[in-house]
Structure formats: C-alpha cells, structure tokens
C-alpha cells in the first residue's frame, strides 16, 4: 500500500497547467554473504526491476487558491474564549414554486480553547464523517453543497464568524478504510 499527501502553500493565487504525480518503484537484487555460487552468476546479469510506473493526474489545469491549513491570530484587543470550525451541509430542493434551502451542521471541531497567543500557528485537522458527507452535487432542481464556518467567540460571548464554500470531489478509487486524512 502506498499512502501520501500532497501539500501546496501559495502566498497568492497561482495558475498551473495541471498537477501530475509521477510514481516509479524500482528494486535492486542484493545477495547476502551466505549466498555464493549459482546465484552470483544470476545476480551479476540481473538489472533493476520496475515494480511500479504510473502517472496520476491530481488536478486539471486551473488555479491554486491562496491559503493555508492553519490559523494565526495576528492581534486582538479582546480576549478569545474559543475558536471553532463547523462543517455545514446545505441541501437545496427546487421546483416551479421556488426553492427550499436547508443547512445542517455536520461536525464542529474546537481549534483553540482560551485566549490564543498572538502569531502562534494553530493547525487545522478535520476528519470528514463518512456517513454525513458526499461529493458536492449540483443539478437543476437539487443541490448538496458544503460550507466551513470559522467561529471566534470572545470572553464577553461576542461572536465573529466567516463562511467559506468548499467543494468535495470523489477520488479516482476507494481509499483504504484505515486511512484517516481529510482531502485536499
């Protein structure tokens, strides 16, 4: 099994011509000191063996958005009580009479509890719940979309939130059940 994660860090939105991962696995035979004779002749004539050679397209040509997978509080005058990240599923059903939109909070993770030191990077790791998420679906009369809400609660219970629309896509093949990574 081969597992991995590709990460990009862009200070600004960056255009690309496609992202392709080249995989190559090569094996060289080695003899132990106990093996002599017949295998010596065989070993000297064997070249490296290719076990894996593949190209995977990770992304079609497009743009990489500027962003990071962590949060940093630059400065705050009020003390922070907590920082939370909410995953929300938005279902929209439509017909001739109009549209009905329903937002359901799927998962909330607490990124910070208590006042946060300025300029401290807080990593964000969210494992997506398999039973409540699916690929983003957009049709004429029905939509399933997802949003992330970043919620900052201050000591006086004053709340500030920012909403980010996200798109989930199904991978080329099923992932192993023991793999617990989030996407991107």
Domain count, the chain: 2
Residue 2 lies in a domain: no
Confidence at residue 179, expressed as pLDDT on a 0 to 100 scale: 46
pLDDT tens digits, 113-160? 988 888 888 888 788 788 888 888 998 889 999 999 999 999 988 999
**Could you tell me if 36 and 123 lie in one domain?**
no
Residue 5 lies in a domain: no
Q: Are 184 and 171 in contact (CB under 8 A)?
A: no
**Could you tell me if 90 and 160 lie in one domain?**
yes
Residue 82 lies in a domain: yes
Distance CA(117)–CA(45), nearest Å, equals 63
**Could you tell me if 97 and 135 lie in one domain?**
yes
Average pLDDT across the chain, whole number:
79
> What is the mean predicted confidence (pLDDT) over 87-106?
89
**Could you tell me if 29 and 56 lie in one domain?**
yes
* CATH number for the domain that contains residue 88: 2.60.40.640
Confidence at residue 135, expressed as pLDDT on a 0 to 100 scale: 87
Residue 57 lies in a domain: yes
Residue 92 lies in a domain: yes
Q: What is the pTM of this model?
A: 0.56
Tokens of 59: 């992304």
**Could you tell me if 153 and 77 lie in one domain?**
yes
Residue 8 lies in a domain: no
Q: Categorize the per-residue pLDDT at 26 as very low, low, confident or very high, splitting at 50, 70 and 90.
A: confident
Domain end among 63, 84, 100: 63
Higher model confidence: residue 157 or residue 179? 157
Residue 122 lies in a domain: yes
Written in H, E and C, the secondary structure of the chain is CCCCCCCCCECCCEEECCEEEEEEEEECCCCCCCCCCHHHHHHHHCCCEEEEEEEEEEECCEEECCECCEEECCCCCCCEEEEEEEEEEEEEEEECCEEEEEEEEEEEEEEEECCCCCCCEEECCCCCCCCCCCCCEECCCEEEEEEEEEEEEECCCCEEEEEEEECCCCCCCCCCCCCCCCCC
**Could you tell me if 111 and 124 lie in one domain?**
yes
Higher model confidence: residue 163 or residue 11? 163
List the domain range (segments joined by +) for residue 30.
17-63
pLDDT of 104 above 80: yes
């Amino acid at each position: 099994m081969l597992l991995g994660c590709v990460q990009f860090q862009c200070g600004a939105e960056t255009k690309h011509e496609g992202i392709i991962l080249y995989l190559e696995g090569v094996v060289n035979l080695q003899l132990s000191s106990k093996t002599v004779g017949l295998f010596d002749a065989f070993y000297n004539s064997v070249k490296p063996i290719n076990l894996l050679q593949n190209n995977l397209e990770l992304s079609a040509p497009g743009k990489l958005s500027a962003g990071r997978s962590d949060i940093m509080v630059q400065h705050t005058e009020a003390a922070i009580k907590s920082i939370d990240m909410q995953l929300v599923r938005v279902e929209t059903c439509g017909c001739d009479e109009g549209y009905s939109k329903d937002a359901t909070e799927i998962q909330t993770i607490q990124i910070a509890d208590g006042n946060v030191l300025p300029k401290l990077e807080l990593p964000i790791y969210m494992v997506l719940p398999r039973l409540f998420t699916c690929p983003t679906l957009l049709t004429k009369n029905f939509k399933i979309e997802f949003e992330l809400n970043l919620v900052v609660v201050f000591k006086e219970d004053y709340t500030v939130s920012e909403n980010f629309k996200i798109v989930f896509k199904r991978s080329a093949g099923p992932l192993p059940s023991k793999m617990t990574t989030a996407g991107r």
